[in-house]
Structures are given as structure tokens and as C-alpha cells.
Structure 1
Amino acid sequence: MSLSAPRLPLPAIVVATTLVAALAGVRTADAQWQASLRMGVTGSTLTGDTDSDFSAVTRLSGGAALSYVYASGFAIEPGLNYVVKGANVDGEIQGLPGAGGAVPVEATFELAYLEVPVFLSYVFERRGSIHPKIFGGPIVAFNLDSQVTYRAKAGGPEFSDSDDSVENRDLAFGAGLGVEWEIGGERLLLGVQSTFGLSNARTAEPPLYNRSLSFFTGIVF
């Protein structure tokens, strides 16, 4: 099934333009501003009041952030991230080709999002070469694509289809720990982030919520 190219929402376009401009012009010598690029892996699942037994999927993720750093160690960090969430689940499906009734299947949901986090962070130690930090705040995520892949537990071909039950926008809260490490004139970034969905990821009932854990590394400019 062919899919049309997703249209980016205006808030994401504005943030993307700002980040690109910042990454092109920011310098380490600029006292108040920092920009960062990061890549990592995200493990995610779906939670909710349902009989389905979901398990996690793991996918690559990445993005960029722009930080306004105060002398006190606090910083405001808007960002832009691409992440694929979802879950594995066992269930039954009607109408599987070659089957007469409900067939037990193994399915994988993959939900691609463009996330716009706005975090408040605090750096504990600004002297020396190691700078531990904590961060947290709201996240607005815009769904770019939703796919479900499934096959019969007894074996056979794999099928894939779009999932029209996924909401276009998802609200979440993210929090995590990180460390910036100055090595050879460069500042490397390591961190971990937990994200908890606050809104129903689907248009249907019962409500399901995204939950994920990300590990990332990157570079700070």
C-alpha cells in the first residue's frame, strides 16, 4: 500500500528552521547559547487498560536541540527529534488470506513521530571537564507514519498495512539524566531519557499510551 508523504506541522517547521540556523551560526565562545546533535536507540511499548500483552520494540532515533544557558546552571532546551515508537503484540485477525476464520498472529506496530520537546535542564558542575545534568519537560509529537506488520503464528508470509487508528498528535512528559564531557577540545554528550505518554495514542478505545526509554550520544557546539 503506497503512502503519501507526510506534511510537517507549522510548529515543527518553525523549530526546525530555528535549529538549522543555530547549528549553522552558533560558536562555543558564545556565552549563552549551545546547540547539540544526538543519535541513539529508543525502546518503546504501549500501555493501557487492555488484555493485550505488549512487548517493546527498539529502533534508532536522533535529533537536535538548542539551549539557552543561564549563569545559575539552568537552561531552556527546545529540540526536534525523529523517533519510531510502537510495540509487539500477540492477537487474532479476521480475513487473513488463505484462512477461514480468526487466526492467531504476531504483530508489530511502528509509529513514526517528529517530537518537539521543551525541556528545563540543570547542570550540577560547570567547572572541570565533566558536567552532569538533569532535564525534564513536555513533549508534543506529530505522527508521520503508522504501520502494522503481522504474520500468522503458524508461519507463512508477512503482511503490512497502514494503521489509521493512530492520533495525529501525541502529548508526553520526558525526563532524564545526562553528562557533557570535554575531550580534546570537543564536548561529548551521553544521556538517557524516559518518556511517558499523557494522551491516547489512538482514536479508538481503550486508550493506549506510548512509553519509551532512550539512550543517546552526541556532540555539543
Structure 2
Amino acid sequence: VAAAARAERINPRSARKIWHKYLETGTTHERPGSGCLSKLTPANKRLIVRTVHKNCRMPFAEVGNLVNSSAMLVRNVLRPHSYHRRVVKPKPYLKPKHKDGRLSWARENANRCGWDHVAWSDESYMYLGGSRNRVFITRRAGEKYKEDCLIPTFTQSPIRVMVWGCVMQDWKGPLITLEYPGGKGGSMTGARYIAQVLKGAWKPFHAAAVRDLGREVLFQQDGEPSHRAEVTQKWL
């Protein structure tokens, strides 16, 4: 018993108790009826599971009110079903065509090798001020990116700064602040993208990476309008 306890990395005293229990009862499981009686009926438990499955953002306290129970008891009922309270994952709002395009790209490149010489670039807004409170949901493992378990984010805020950066394996590219006027016609155009990003940040980084790696470095973008502009494609 001691050797088995060491092999399984458990306390020797606990191992002996388990062994004696097996000799007495023929099993290591708890006997039926042991422990406190449940305050919830099987129907109540099924209602709790159905409720969180349909509405993952409902707090445990509100779910408990449906069966006249506490949030702690609701949590205990959901645990065997692998439901846990988690912070929702914020994701940029994507239209169906955006999702289809990303999925097609992932499938086309699923078996591709040689990603070590690909530079991944992106622009993002850095927000200053505003509410950034966490939102909780109830989900199971593997449902982190399920549609109902995500919260869409929109590029709207009274105070924000857009930055651009790129990374590749073992390399960290420059991080720059993009400058462009607001209002009508003040978005990131192909000409501004070339001047600030391609010429100002990407070109020197690309030259240094090619010199050190001794091979060409591929530039991966996400297909924004300024990336697809004719002047941008001609420059690249």
C-alpha cells in the first residue's frame, strides 16, 4: 500500500483508508445515500442546466431564484455538468462574410509549413477612458469562442489612439502610433498607409530581418481597405 501511495503521489494514510474501505465494501465509491440530502429535486436540477444552456449570461443568483435556491447550490449542481463561470472573451464584430473569409484562409493554410519567416501585422485601437467592466458567462470547456460566449467590440470611443505593429518568430517588430485626421475622408487611406507603415516602419524592419535570416520575409496583412488599395498593392 505504501509503495502504491508513493507511485500515485498520495498520502500513505489516505491510501490505507482507501484500501481498508475496499476490503470492507468491495468498492472505493461512496455508498448510496451517504451525505446530506439534496434540497433540489431532479426536475429542479434539470431546469438549472437548461436555463444556463439557453442563457449563459444569467447570474447564478437569478438562476437560483427560479428554484428558490442559492447561487452556491446552483454552482454545485452545474459543476458535474462541466459548467463554470468565466469572463467573456471580447472579439471584434465580424459579419458573416468576414467569418467565411477567415475560415477559408485557415483551411487553405492548415497544412502549410515554414511560418518562421512570416511577419504578422495588424492595426488596433488603444482606448483611453470609458467603461471596460468584465462580463461573466456560464460555459463549458471548449466553448470559449462559441458565438453566444463572445461579446462584440466596436471601434467607437471618445478617446482612442490607433497603433500598428508586427511580429514574427523570434522577432518583435516596431510599434508605432498612426496619425491621420478625423471626420469625413480622414480614415486610413492607401497613401497614408504607405507613408506611415510601409515606408516608415515595415521597410527598415523587413531589411533587417532579411539581412539576419538570409532569406525573404513574407508580409501578412488582414485585408483592410487600405491594404487592398491599388497604390498599396503597387508599392508592395
- TM norm. shorter chain > 0.5: no
The structure with the largest alpha-carbon Rg is 2
Normalised to the residue count of structure 2, the TM-score between the two structures is: 0.21
Greater fraction of residues in helix:
2
Which protein has greater RCO, CA pairs closer than 8 Å, 6+ apart?
A: 1
Length-normalised TM-score, structure 1:
0.22
